Each structure stands twice: as structure tokens, then as C-alpha cells.
Structure 1
Amino acid sequence: MNRLRADLLLLAVSVIWGTAFIAQKHGNAAMGPISFVGARFLVSWAALLPLALFESKRARSALKIEDIGLAGLIGLCLFSGSTLQQIGLVATTATNAGFLTALYVILLPFIVWMITGARPRPMVLIASVISIAGAWLLTEQGRFEGWNSGDGLVLISDIAWATGISLVPIFLKRANRPFFLAFAQYGVAATLGVLGGLGFESFSLEGVATALPAILYAGLLSGGVAFTLQIVAQKYTPPAEAGLIMSLESVFAALAGAALLSERLSGPAIMGCVLILLGVALAEVGPAMRNIKLRTAKRAPTAPSANAPWQGGASRIGFLRKDFEPPTEARNN
């Protein structure tokens, strides 16, 4: 796989996530938010079991304890981000939640810098600001509807989302087991969600039955397909750029609302979609120009590619303290 195909996978991810918001709201109406998170990722975990087993049989080496620990940490980020967002959706408006969720894009370059020592490209920072401006215009005429506890939870969830996305390529560099990582993170999220739901929320089979379509959609498509495609693609697309592409989720959510719910797209909302698309395009300019030069010169690069999310030094955090040399596949795209 090359960078272009990876970016197209991330585009597909944003389409699926953009249409999953309706399912999440429906799930909250039928059952507790933590229980819904546990149920959806239990479905995702079961869906990935065959692929994880197949990958395990073909693996050339066994996983190390630190690899399993890193996969568990990424699963904890997934659970934290999903749960905080799902609980926040109970109290906040769709307008506020859409903008606040998009803020993880601006956090990503700095969290990657903190973890790996790789300084963000100036163009990525500019593209992130442009995309955030677009997300703002996708709200009600650029208007933030007050502030409550739900907004705070959605905002905190951005830290978990950005951290998880930043850690994925580090795991893939070490273990190159994307299906195991997906399987493991779904298992962690499902276990914590089920236990948390049973401990803090009321449970009823009737509520589960009512929310079943939403659980299956979120579990199979948003989870089993989209989160797995994200992991596979992040072997080739750096975290900050990946986050920008996935921010198109806001655009597809707006388009889905207009197509399926007869919601009208205002002039500012259309301009917001254009700005987000512009931000994504700007982030892709650098890698595209480098690839054109490489093809013109007809020679392989002699230095680590700037596409590699871990370029720029060693990790500064605990057991992640290793030099991150980009794999051959990432250099030759």
C-alpha cells in the first residue's frame, strides 16, 4: 500500500464516522451511554476475532509484553474518548459537540511532538487552523450554544482521541500487527464499557433490543470497519495528516443530515465544508510534491521520509523511548 491508498482509506473512515452520529444519538435514547459503548465494541471485538487469528498464524514473531501493553494503552484511549463523547452527547447539543470534537485536530501535532520528538510541519499547523475554522462555520451560523458539563466532557475526549491516534504508528512500527491492535483495543473498550455500564447504569434487555440497530451500525461499521481501516492506513499516513483527513467527518455528517434528515445547509456551513477540504488539501501538498520530485529523479530517498510520523528523534516517554526509523513501505510511497 502507498500513501495515496492509505489516504483514501482514511477518507472512507471519515464517511462512515460522519454518518454514525445518528446511531450514537439513537443509542443514548435507548440505553446508558457507557453500556452503549461496551455493547458496540463487543460487536467490533467479535467481528475482528477471525482476522486477528488469521494474522496471528501468519506472524513471523511473537508479540512482546511491551507491545501488548501499548495495545492496551491505545484501547484505554479508545474507551476514554468514546465514553466521554457518548456521555457528553447526553447533555450537549449536536452543534457544540460537532465543533468540540473537531478540536482534536489541533492537538494532534503537539501530542505527536511530545511523544516522538517529531516537530509538526508548519503547513500542517496552518491546515489544522483552517479546518477548525471550517468546523466552527458548520455550527449554527458560527454560534456556540452556551456551555455545560457535556461540552467539557467532549472537549476532554479530544485528548484521548489525539493520544490514541498518535500511538498507533508506534505500535505498528514495533509489531506490524494491525488486526491484533484493532482486536485488542476493542476488547479493552468492550470490557470496560460492559463493567462500567453494569456498575453505574440501569440495564434492561428491552433497552438493548431498542438500541440494537444502532449498536450493530456503530459496532460493525463505525467500529469494526472504520477504526480498523484507520489503523491499517496509519502505517503510511502520519498522525497529524491522518487527523486532518478524518476531520472530513464533520463535512460528511453535514451532508448526511441534509440528505437523510432534510436539514438545510446554510451558506456559512457550505463555506465551512470548503475550508475543511482546503485544510486537508494543504496538508497533502508537501508529501505530494516530494513524491513528484522522487519520481522525476527516479531514485529512492536516502534519508527518512518526512511522511514518517516518528521522524525527528526518539520518544520522550517511558517505555516508548526508542528511535523511530520509518519502515521501507512508508519511505517508498
Structure 2
Amino acid sequence: MNRVRADLLLMAVSIIWGTAFIAQKHANSSMGPVSFVGARFLLSFVALAPLAFYEHNNPTGSRLKKEDLGLAGLVGLCLFVGSTLQQIGLVTTTATNGGFLTALYVIFIPFIVWIITGARPRLIVLAASVVSVMGAWLLTEQGRFHGWTAGDALVLIADIAWAAGISLVPIFLSRVDRPFFLAFAQYGVTAALGMICGLSFEPFSREGWAMAFPAILYAGVFSGAIAFTLQIFAQKYTPPAEAGLIMSLESVFAALAGAALLSERLTGSGVLGCVLILLGVVAVEVGPALRNVKLRGYLRKPV
């Protein structure tokens, strides 16, 4: 796989996540948010089990060390914290505030990578992140923030967990080439913590779980087992900050899905917001392409 194919995978991930936002909002009306997180990732865990065991039995595969298991567990913890706080936040925050605040994780990624690896963020990445966040702001109802609630704070904290998880994925893959194991492990950690906490502190209703089953199925299979796994594969070739920017297209596809499936109106400012997010993604894509063209031109020059 090359960078272009990896970026296309990340775009596919953003499409799936954008449409899954509708399923997440629907589930909160039928069951507890933490229980939903546990149920959806339990389904993802089961779906990835055959691929993880196939990878484990591959004689040419990388050997896992104790520190690799710890790192995979940390990525899983980030997924649990991010998913749970976001899902709880969606109970009290408005869709307007939640959509904007979720997009802020693209700002955190370059700085978390800097803290972890010492690699300073490139100026073009920072500029593209700011442009994408401006686009997410315009995707709200004419750029208006509807007050500040506890749910908003939870979604913002979730952004830090999302950013940390995205930043840690390539570190794991650089140490051991076991993408299916990483996906399997993070789903297992999130499912276990979600089911234990959800069943311990939230009311259980068979009718509610039955009503939420379509949302669990979509989020567990498509958003979880497929999209999160594709993200891991793609991040082997796309740096974390650039990957985060591409996945921020989730806001665009969520707006389009809302307009198509929920009859939500996409305003002129919303369209402009979509364009700005796209420009942010294009900016980080054009930079490496131009460098490669210049490099090939230099190598072809006669000595």
C-alpha cells in the first residue's frame, strides 16, 4: 500500500463515521450511552477475532512483547475514553455543539505527536488544522455556539483521547506489524470496560436494547470492525496529523447524511464550512506531492 491508497482508506473511514453519528444519536434514546459503547465494540471484537487469530498463527508475523501488549492496551483505553465521553456528551450537548467540538481533535494531534516523539508539527499541517476547524464552526447553525454544558466539556475531553489514540497507533505499528491484533485488542479493552461500567451503573431494558440493536449493529460492524481497522492499516503510511485532517471529513459527511436522511437543511455557511474542511485536507495532500515532484525533477537533472 502507498500513501495515496492509505489516504483513500482514511476518506472511506470518514464517510462511515459521518453516517454512524446518526446511529449514535439514535441509540441514546433507547439505552445507556456507556452500555452502547460496550455493546458496539463487543460486536467489533467478535468480528475481528478470526482475522486476529489468523495473524497470530502466521509464521512470518511479528512477535509481540510485553511492552507491545501494554501499548495496545493504552490505545484501547484511549478508544474507550474517547468513545464513552463522546457518547455521554451527546446526551446533553446539542448536535451543533457536538459536531464542532468533535472536530477539534485535529488541533490536538500535532502537539501530542510533538510531546510523544519530539517531532515538531509542520506549519502547513497547523494551518490546515485551523482551516478545518473554521470549516467545522461554519457547519454549525450559522456559526453559533449554543451555550456551554457538561456534555460539551465531555466531548472536548474526548477529543484529547481521540488525538492520543491516533498518535499512538503508528508508534505501535513501527514496533510490531500486527494491525489486526491492535484492532482486536482495542476493541476488547473498550468492550470489557464499557459492558462492566454500563451494566453496573445504567438501567438495563431488553426493549431498549432491542430498539437500539440496528444502531449497535451498524456502529459495531461498520464504524467499529471495518472503519477503525481500516484506520489502523492506513496509519502505517499516513502520519497522524495528516490522518486526523483527512478523518475530519467526518463532519462533512455527517452534515450530508443529516441533509439526506434526516431532512436537515444545509445552509450556505454550512456549504462554505464543507469547502474549508476539504481545502484543509487538500493542503496537506498537495504538500507531499509537490515535494515528490521536485525531488524527481532534481534526480533527473544531468550531473
User: Which residue of structure 1 aligns with residue 14 of structure 2?
Assistant: 14
Q: Larger deviation: 49-58 or 135-144?
A: 49-58
2:209 corresponds to 1:213: no
- Deviations along 1:175-218, one digit per CA (max 9) or x if unpaired, are 11100000000000000000001111111222111110000000
Give, in whole Å, the separation in 1 of the partners of 2:37 and 2:297.
Answer: 49
2:93 corresponds to 1:100: no
Contact 2:132/2:280 (<8 A) preserved: yes
User: Which residue of structure 1 aligns with residue 175 of structure 2?
Assistant: 174
Q: TM-score, normalised by structure 2?
A: 0.97
* AA at the equivalent of 1:273: C
User: Which residue of structure 1 aligns with residue 262 of structure 2?
Assistant: 261
User: Which residue of structure 2 aligns with residue 42 of structure 1?
Assistant: 42
- The DSSP-based 3-state class of the residue aligned with 1:29 is coil
Percent identity reads 76
State how 1:184-263 maps to structure 2 within 5 Å. Answer: 184-263=185-264
* AA at the equivalent of 1:37: V
Give, in whole Å, the separation in 2 of the partners of 1:29 and 1:46.
Answer: 25
- The DSSP-based 3-state class of the residue aligned with 1:265 is coil
Give, in whole Å, the separation in 1 of the partners of 2:177 and 2:46.
Answer: 21
Give the gaps of 5 or more residues in structure 1.
Answer: 300-333
Give, in whole Å, the separation in 2 of the partners of 1:61 and 1:26.
Answer: 41
Q: CA deviation at 1:60?
A: 3.3
- The DSSP-based 3-state class of the residue aligned with 1:30 is coil
Q: CA deviation at 1:298?
A: 5.7
* AA at the equivalent of 1:203: F
Q: CA deviation at 1:294?
A: 3.9
Q: CA deviation at 1:62?
A: 2.1
* AA at the equivalent of 1:219: G
Give, in whole Å, the separation in 1 of the partners of 2:292 and 2:199.
Answer: 52
2:74 corresponds to 1:69: no
Give, in whole Å, the separation in 2 of the partners of 1:85 and 1:268.
Answer: 25
* AA at the equivalent of 2:93: T
User: Which residue of structure 1 aligns with residue 83 of structure 2?
Assistant: 82
Give, in whole Å, the separation in 2 of the partners of 1:126 and 1:236.
Answer: 22
Give, in whole Å, the separation in 2 of the partners of 1:77 and 1:6.
Answer: 22
Q: TM-score, normalised by structure 1?
A: 0.88
Give, in whole Å, the separation in 2 of the partners of 1:208 and 1:259.
Answer: 26
Runs ≥4 in structure 1, deviation > 6 angstroms?
A: none
- The DSSP-based 3-state class of the residue aligned with 2:28 is helix
Q: CA deviation at 1:297?
A: 4.9
Q: CA deviation at 1:291?
A: 2.2
User: Which residue of structure 1 aligns with residue 30 of structure 2?
Assistant: 30
User: Which residue of structure 2 aligns with residue 303 of structure 1?
Assistant: none
Give, in whole Å, the separation in 1 of the partners of 2:44 and 2:175.
Answer: 24
Q: CA deviation at 1:174?
A: 0.3
Q: CA deviation at 1:143?
A: 0.2
Q: CA deviation at 1:123?
A: 0.3
Give, in whole Å, the separation in 1 of the partners of 2:226 and 2:175.
Answer: 23
